[in-house]
A and B are shown apart, each in its own frame.
Chain A
Amino acid sequence: QKEVEQNSGPLSVPEGAIASLNCTYSDRGSQSFFWYRQYSGKSPELIMFIYSNGDKEDGRFTAQLNKASQYVSLLIRDSQPSDSATYLCAVNRDDKIIFGKGTRLHILP
Chain B
Amino acid sequence: NAGVMQNPRHLVRRRGQEARLRCSPMKGHSHVYWYRQLPEEGLKFMVYLQKENIIDESGMPKERFSAEFPKEGPSILRIQQVVRGDSAAYFCASSPDVKRTQHFGDGTRLSIL
Contacts and interface: CB of A to CB of B under 8 A. Distances in A.
Given A34-B101, A100-B42, A102-B42, A95 B91 contact: no
Contacts, number: 43
A43 interface: yes
Interface in A26-75: 31-32, 34, 36, 42-46, 49
Given A43-B91, A88-B42, A96 B101 contact: no
Q: Is the interface of B mostly helix, strand, loop or mixed?
A: strand
Interface in A75-109: 88, 92, 94-102
Interface stretch (B12-20, B64-72, B102-110): B102-110
A102 B39 CA distance: 12
B42 A97 contact: no
B102 to A, nearest CB: 6
Contacts of A95: 48, 55-56, 98
A45 B45 CA distance: 16
Given A42-B106, A96-B33, A32 B99 contact: yes
Interface of B: 33, 35, 41-45, 48, 55-56, 91, 98-99, 101-107
